[in-house]
């Protein structure tokens, strides 16, 4: 019975790893909304949907007014539409 438990363990690791990767990518996408206007726009979009559907996004959103890039100037800022 070692084989089935080993398969379950490996499957659990694979699922956990893929979930962590998905969450990191989502955090990186949300970090692109750095300006206050960007964050307000994202909040307005999320307000159109029920809370259960947007709960994870709301929890991962950067705090209003914070620069999620921290002190790393190599991370690009999201360009605003119409600013060429």
pLDDT digits (tens, 9 = 90+) for 1-10: 668 889 999 9
What's the predicted TM-score (pTM) here? Answer: 0.60
- Going by pLDDT thresholds of 50, 70 and 90, the confidence category of residue 84 is very low
- Going by pLDDT thresholds of 50, 70 and 90, the confidence category of residue 62 is confident
Per-residue pLDDT at 45: 93
Q: Which residues lie below 8 Å from residue 68, measured CB to CB, with a gap of 6+?
A: 30, 31, 34, 62
Give me the residue spans of the domains in the chain: 2-60
User: Does the structure show a pLDDT above 90 at 20?
Assistant: yes
Per-residue pLDDT at 74: 47
């Amino acid at each position: 019975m070692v084989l089935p438990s080993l398969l379950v363990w490996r499957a659990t690791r694979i699922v956990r790893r893929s979930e962590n990767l998905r969450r990191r990518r989502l955090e990186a996408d949300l970090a692109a909304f750095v300006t206050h206007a960007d964050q307000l726009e994202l909040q307005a979009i999320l307000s159109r949907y029920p809370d259960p559907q947007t709960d994870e996004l709301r929890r991962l959103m950067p705090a209003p007014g914070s620069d999620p890039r921290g002190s790393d100037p190599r991370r690009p800022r999201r360009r605003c539409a119409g600013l060429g």
